[in-house]
Structure 1
Amino acid sequence: MSIAARFTDAWTGIDDPLLAAGDLLPVRLARACVQVLGVDGAGLSVMDGPGLRVPVGASDERAAAAERSQFTVGEGPCLHAHATGSTVLATDDVIAQRWPALYEQVVQGAGVRAVASLPLRAGRVGFGALDVYYGDPGDLGRLDLAAAGTVVTSIVRVLTASPGAADDPEGPSWLGSPGARRRGQVWQAMGVLNVRLGLGAPDALALLRAHAYATERDVDGVARDLLHGRLPLADLRLGPRA
């Protein structure tokens, strides 16, 4: 059986009623990646603008936490893969050298020891990335890149063929996944900072990221607390952790 057929069987064969809703399609795809590629975790994300990454599905909580860490520090394999259109392979040593802030959160915090990020492209247009994770850096060399490329092609076909992907102004239902809704609160918090502090979008996001890093949290959680009144504007702080 071909890799494409195995992947289709894997994601369509997930018999979990909790994952049946259309907004959880990317979660099923991420779990199928783990099954077919033999990786420890997988996450799918799309881009909502320059540097504005939206997580739409993860195979497990560790993969979801790794995505939140990349977004919080604003750099990492996924963003580089999307920006360059090329696959990025990074063990923990490479992450420490290229993205030291990410190393603290992903390697030391989430226990991810290696990452492969593959861009999602529809024609010539890149719109996201697939990240696959390993707990052992030695396993990265065993990733079948040809098989991973076939899986990426299948993912793009499934996502772009979903109802609403082409003609619904609100987009397909999978853009309303739980991870995407949480990230949407970051955009709302940026709007609050624009109105209350007069900050443009880049500066508002930078302030949220700085506070998240300073308090050892992720940006999603900081934004949620700001919107719900648990984080006063006066308590947002810039600068490194003490």
Structure 2
Amino acid sequence: MEIRQSFLAQLSYLEGAVPSPDRLPSLLATSCFEVLPVAAASISVFSTDGFRFPVGASSARAAYAERLQFTTGEGPALDLRADGDGILADETVVSSCWPLFHERLFVETPFRAVAAFPVIAGADVFAAVDLYFTSADDLRRLPLSDALAVVSIIGERLADAMEYRDRWTDNPVSASRSVTATAVRMLAAATKSSTEDALRRLQTRAAAARITVDAFADAVVSGRVSLDDLTLAGAGRPAAADEHASREVTHDVSCR
């Protein structure tokens, strides 16, 4: 009960300072950072076709870590299941389950462990809450019951504000993901392939260029990278991405 009261009090304070329902996911992520022993937090929602949109982050680094999961096509938030409580992953788990994500996360951010929790709507994962840590010890010290209580509140508040869902993506990070969705549709039409194949093609090229898929997609939509160039490239997926998947965990984890 104490963590629930602390979270709601922090959220109420932030909502008073920034009275805008458009900013609710960012305020929820910031409240996570303030009341849980984490280095950063982010929230993303899934569209009806499974496309992931970042809607809130406690910091620019948290937002970038989300983009790395989307760029590599792997990571704990992408493997969440509606029947699972969440995934807690230290470096050993991240490196064995999601090697591409591990490589970039540990080089490009200060984060060394991740926890991801599903926000459930009906029988589906509607959103994901990612918590980031700068050490495995910090992850082990996370009170799981507190984290689950906070995620439950986030689900409640998001469900109550669904009428504003289209406006949650009115931020620079979400806008760049919308550009990626446009690039996926363009490439799928040009190659007469599925959107899943088109996204994998973009992810592969972004990984080769060591940039985010959102940045690469912007180059495609703006014409700096031609569709002709992409249609000549193999679809594929990022190397090693087919070799692993994650499983629901508590503190001990192995890949499915």
Q: Give the alignment's TM-score, normalised by structure 1.
A: 0.88
CA distance in 2, matches of 1:197, 1:225: 18
After TM superposition, list the pairs within 5 Å mapping 1:180-191 onto structure 2.
180-191=174-185
Corresponding residue SS for 2:69: helix
- After superposition, the C-alpha distances for 1:33-89 in whole angstroms (9 at most, x for unaligned) are 011112100010111246521111111011111100111111111111246533101
Corresponding residue SS for 2:215: helix
Query: Which structure exhibits the higher relative contact order, with contacts defined as CA atoms closer than 8 Å and separated by 6 or more residues?
Result: 2
After TM superposition, list the pairs within 5 Å mapping 1:87-166 onto structure 2.
87-162=86-161, 164=163
CA distance in 1, matches of 2:147, 2:213: 30
After TM superposition, list the pairs within 5 Å mapping 1:195-206 onto structure 2.
195-206=189-200
Post-superposition shift, 1:97? 1.1
Which is worse superposed, 171-180 or 53-62? 171-180
Displaced runs of 4 or more, over 4 A: 237-241
After TM superposition, list the pairs within 5 Å mapping 1:219-238 onto structure 2.
219-236=213-230, 237=233
CA distance in 2, matches of 1:10, 1:44: 17
- Percent identity for Structure 1 against Structure 2: 37
CA distance in 2, matches of 1:175, 1:85: 26
Structure 1 residues 206 and 148: CA distance shift in structure 2, 3 A: same
CA distance in 2, matches of 1:74, 1:49: 18
**What residue number does 2:71 align with?**
72
How many residue pairs get matched? 235
**What residue number does 1:6 align with?**
6
Post-superposition shift, 1:111? 2.2
The residue identity in structure 1 corresponding to 2:134 is G
CA distance in 1, matches of 2:13, 2:212: 33
**One of 198, 201, 205 as aligned partner of 1:207:** 201
- After superposition, the C-alpha distances for 1:7-42 in whole angstroms (9 at most, x for unaligned) are 11112212796x543322111110100111121000
- After superposition, the C-alpha distances for 1:72-116 in whole angstroms (9 at most, x for unaligned) are 111111111246533101011211111111111111212210001
CA distance in 2, matches of 1:119, 1:218: 24
CA distance in 1, matches of 2:151, 2:83: 16
Answer whether contact 1:23 1:177 (CA < 8 A) is retained.
no
Answer whether contact 1:82 1:127 (CA < 8 A) is retained.
no
CA distance in 2, matches of 1:77, 1:172: 25
Which is worse superposed, 45-54 or 124-133? 45-54
CA distance in 2, matches of 1:175, 1:144: 30
Unpaired runs of 5+ residues, structure 1, are 166-170
CA distance in 2, matches of 1:16, 1:198: 49
The residue identity in structure 2 corresponding to 1:208 is L
Structure 1 residues 99 and 150: CA distance shift in structure 2, 3 A: same
- After superposition, the C-alpha distances for 1:106-140 in whole angstroms (9 at most, x for unaligned) are 11212210001111113443212111001112110
Q: Give the alignment's TM-score, normalised by structure 2.
A: 0.84
CA distance in 1, matches of 2:162, 2:198: 34
Q: Does 1:194 align with 2:188?
A: yes
Which is worse superposed, 213-222 or 117-126? 117-126
Corresponding residue SS for 2:163: coil
After TM superposition, list the pairs within 5 Å mapping 1:26-105 onto structure 2.
26-49=25-48, 51-82=50-81, 85-105=84-104
Unpaired runs of 5+ residues, structure 2, are 240-256
